[in-house]
Amino acid sequence: MEKLNPFEVTQRQLDECARILKLDPDVHAILRVPARELHVSLPVRMDDGSIKVFQGFRVQYNDVKGPTKGGIRFHPDETIDTVRALAAWMTWKCALLDLPLGGAKGGVICNPKEMSQSELERLSRAYIQAIYQFIGQDKDIPAPDVYTNPQIMAWMMDEYSKIAGKNQFGVITGKPLSVGGSAGRGDATARGGVYTIREAAKECGIDVKKATVAVQGYGNAGYYAAYLTKSLLGCKVVAVSDSKGGIFSKEGLVPEAVREHKANTTSVINFPNTKSISNEELLELEVDILIPAALENVITKNNAPNIKAKILAELSNGPTTPEADDILYKNGVHVIPDFLCNAGGVTVSYFEMVQNFYMYYWDEKEVHERLDKKMTFAYHSVLNTSKKYNINMRQAAYVTAVRRVVEAMVLRGWVRGRLYADS
């Protein structure tokens, strides 16, 4: 089994980028670790009257390009190293999309599936009370991630505003529309990914209307990925899965119907007229486009040789380990790396902040057009860099993003005016 600490994975990816860029060792050392992290204990009154103490984190990785930004995960397996890794990826993601933001991430160790709505509300408010001093619309702006949603963002924004004594809509993004949310934020992560898939298909000579798709994970990102690859691009979605297992249909699935089935039964499994498959089998299906949209480290050196997809669109953060990366590259799989593919979420979060500050809101069409422009531009920047330097798409994404962060560090005087060791 490969060692699968996600923070070590991000460090190894950065080390490789540093090698390619011949990055100055001092700059490299700064970028290898988070700037700040906060660990909090959250006593929460449960519905049965008892108090349960939850552990939470907020990591601000690098804020040289602006206030830090990144989601909050509520997950039973959350660890500080996962949060560190995700905060690092947010730094590269915001830089790659040229957003005036740094990277951060938050997490609380809990199982939202076993908590009532009122327990979740108390936990969300407790988390904001604990990190209040650490965040702010010009400091650090949280958002949703795995198992957090617009309702949770509304509670968090409300708690922050109450403590501040004034409405502070811009402190949290991914809010519901009626309390300062942005049109188009709900499906933004998947939609941004689908725009990059459209561009990648052109690059790979794939006719999207004839392409087959498999999606691992059926939360917000996974569902909309299935729905939008079908409705926007005309692909056939032949397999989807969630944590309980997967389903396959040669004829193609109707993503909305599968979502309804999951809402009624808690899972996509046992959807009528489909074949049951495991998550592992889904990843190895003979499809044109594979979209991991769940958790980290699902494509490893063990299953990478069996991946048959032509395009791997990483909608989740960190689905592929470094060893797997090398194998995929050798096998000619076109990888749209995570912090490019899933950047649509934070991009529309940034649009949400802009609208909050201006108190003027755009319609959905405007959000989609602006998102398409940013994602398409970012995809082609990465593709061109990968061709120019003969490096894989992930390395190209790192090179593009890290250069921008380093440039800002030099301009702000954080490091000497020597970007790279040989310059």
List CB contacts of 360: < 8 A, sequence separation 6 or more: none
Closest approach of Cβ 383 to ligand GLU, in Å? 21
Closest approach of Cβ 73 to ligand GLU, in Å? 8
Complex with ligand GLU: residue 246 or 344, whichever CB lies closer: 344
* Binding of residue 170 to ligand GLU (CB under 6 A): no
Q: Which residue is nearest to ligand GLU (CB)?
A: 71
Residues 87-116 that bind ligand GLU (CB under 6 A): 93
Q: Tell me the pairing of strands 51-62 and 68-74.
A: unpaired
Quick check: is 105 catalytic? yes
Residues 332-351 that bind ligand GLU (CB under 6 A): 342, 345-346, 349
The two tokens of residue 90 are 């947010």
* Binding of residue 175 to ligand GLU (CB under 6 A): no
**Helix 188-204 to helix 344-358 angle, to the nearest 10 degrees?**
130
* Binding of residue 145 to ligand GLU (CB under 6 A): yes
Q: Tell me the pairing of strands 68-74 and 140-144.
A: parallel
* Binding of residue 186 to ligand GLU (CB under 6 A): no
Residues 35-54 that bind ligand GLU (CB under 6 A): none
Complex with ligand GLU: residue 144 or 255, whichever CB lies closer: 144
Closest approach of Cβ 190 to ligand GLU, in Å? 12
Find the Cα–Cα–Cα–Cα dihedral 329, 332, 338, 339, rounded to 10°. Answer: 80
d(C-alpha 60, C-alpha 29), whole Å: 16
List CB contacts of 359: < 8 A, sequence separation 6 or more: none
Point out the catalytic residue in the list 65, 93, 105, 175: 105
Residues 217-256 that bind ligand GLU (CB under 6 A): none
The per-residue DSSP string of 15-37 comes to: HHHHHHHTB-HHHHHHHTS-SEE
Complex with ligand GLU: residue 95 or 346, whichever CB lies closer: 346
Closest approach of Cβ 96 to ligand GLU, in Å? 11
Burial 139-171 (b: 16+ CB within 10 A, else e): ebbbbbbbbbbbebbbbbbbbbbeeeeeebbbb
Strand partners, 290: 214, 312
* Binding of residue 82 to ligand GLU (CB under 6 A): no
* Binding of residue 317 to ligand GLU (CB under 6 A): yes
C-beta separation of 97 from 343 below 8 A: yes
d(C-alpha 17, C-alpha 23), whole Å: 8
* Binding of residue 143 to ligand GLU (CB under 6 A): yes
* Binding of residue 173 to ligand GLU (CB under 6 A): yes
C-beta separation of 207 from 233 below 8 A: no
* Binding of residue 10 to ligand GLU (CB under 6 A): no
Closest approach of Cβ 174 to ligand GLU, in Å? 6
Quickly tell me which residue has 């942005």 as its tokens. Answer: 182
Quickly tell me which residue has 């749209």 as its tokens. Answer: 336
Using alpha carbons, select from 335, 404, 321, 410 the residue that is nearest to residue 21: 404
Complex with ligand GLU: residue 21 or 146, whichever CB lies closer: 146
Closest approach of Cβ 83 to ligand GLU, in Å? 11
Task: Indicate which single residue of 34, 67, 70, 192 sits in contact with ligand GLU (rule: CB under 6 A).
Answer: 70
* Binding of residue 69 to ligand GLU (CB under 6 A): yes
Give the x-and-dash track for 195-214 against ligand GLU (CB under 6 A). --------------------
Closest approach of Cβ 304 to ligand GLU, in Å? 23
Catalytic positions, written as ranges: 105
Which residues are near ligand GLU by CB under 6 A?
Answer: 69-71, 93, 143, 145, 173-174, 317, 342, 345-346, 349
